[in-house]
Amino acid sequence: MGELVVDKHVKYILSVEKRKDSFESVVLEHLRMNGAYWGLATLDLLGKLDALDSNEVIEWIMKCQHESGGFAGNIGHDPHMLYTLSAVQVLALFDKLNVLDADKVANYISGLQNEDGSFSGDEWGEVDSRFSYLAICCLSILHRLDKINMEKAVNYIASCKNVDGGFGCTPGGESHAGQIFCCVGALAITGSLHHVDKDLLGWWLCERQVKSGGLNGRPEKLPDVCYSWWVLSSLIMIDRVHWINKDKLVKFILNCQDTENGGISDRPEDAVDVYHTYFGVAGLSLLEYPGLKAIDPAHALPVDVVNRIFFQK
């Protein structure tokens, strides 16, 4: 197992372009903004954000912004809530939120709120509690939560709660750790955690830990490093993280490293990618692994970045 191979992971993230013609590269094209967030947030947690020229990144990000205020996953694509949050998060990492017209971005987001309080991901109207989180997290970072109908937004999220204590994508949807993170995160940011049955949800979440020490996202599913983030951050937000076995989870994540070439995969021996590298490192940060920056479980940004946003203005 060994330790976290920090230098290898840094090298891996910086050298993603060297693997030509991979299936991943085509598929990632339209969601490059997410890739940028995963890669850069990982670098920051590893204390190596300065390995990149922030000006070039920022220039590219701003080229992805549309007239509407929303951001696309890449230049020339359409804006979507998914990429708007990633763009704002990356700017926050670089302490460059000031390049944004915050009201413009906030207007884009508030324009996507529906009558029932839910949010659509883009103008085409797909509704999902994930988008409620994206909207609320983004507006929180921009100090613009007053732009939406908060009461309705919170009530919609609460309506996605299930009898097992978890949350689904829409009312009645199956509880899923990713959706739970989104709903609990949005409720935490808006000071509405009283809608969560913490003990019941905490038990459901700690039941996600399987024999290998890894976490799955739903009953009877395989463990996956990404749930180290979704499950752990939720448990932290409801003060129940001590209910899982931390040592076993740390071992599981470290076992998913490519110790030769860097990067982290979903499960031991699988191929690595930027997405799982981020969730593995972020998970280890939540587990207080030595040498990593602390990460804020609700905003999914390093704690020093979040402090800068909320306590220096």
Partner 1 sequence: MDAEEHKLRLSQDPEWADVTPIPQDDGPNPVVPIAYKPDFIETMGYFRAVYKANEFSPRALQLTHQAILLNPGNYTVWHFRRLILDALGIDLNEELNFMSGISESNPKNYQIWHHRRWIAEKLGTDAASKELEFTRRMLSLDAKNYHAWSHRQWVLQALGGWENELDYCHQLLEKDVFNNSAWNQRYFVVTRSPLLGGLEATRESEVKYTIETILGNPGNESPWRYLRGLYKNDPKSWISDPQVSSVCLKVLSAEANHVFALSTLLDLLSHGFQANQEFRDAVDSLRPSNSDPADSDLAKTICSILRHVDPMRVNYWTWRKSKLPSTVSV
- Residue ranges in contact with partner 1 by CB under 8 A: 16-17, 19-22, 25-32, 35-36, 39-40, 52-53, 56-57, 59-60, 63, 72, 74-78, 80, 122, 124, 126, 162-164, 168-170, 172-176, 202-204, 206-207, 209, 211, 218-221, 242-245, 248, 274
- In the bound state with partner 1, the residue whose beta carbon lies nearer, of 241 and 298, is 241
Q: In 260-311, where does DSSP find H-type helix?
A: 274-286, 303-311
- In the bound state with partner 1, the residue whose beta carbon lies nearer, of 207 and 270, is 207
Compute the least distance from the CB of residue 229 to partner 1, in Å. 17
Compute the least distance from the CB of residue 251 to partner 1, in Å. 13
Compute the least distance from the CB of residue 313 to partner 1, in Å. 26
Compute the least distance from the CB of residue 218 to partner 1, in Å. 6
- In the bound state with partner 1, the residue whose beta carbon lies nearer, of 248 and 293, is 248
- In the bound state with partner 1, the residue whose beta carbon lies nearer, of 219 and 291, is 219
Compute the least distance from the CB of residue 110 to partner 1, in Å. 21
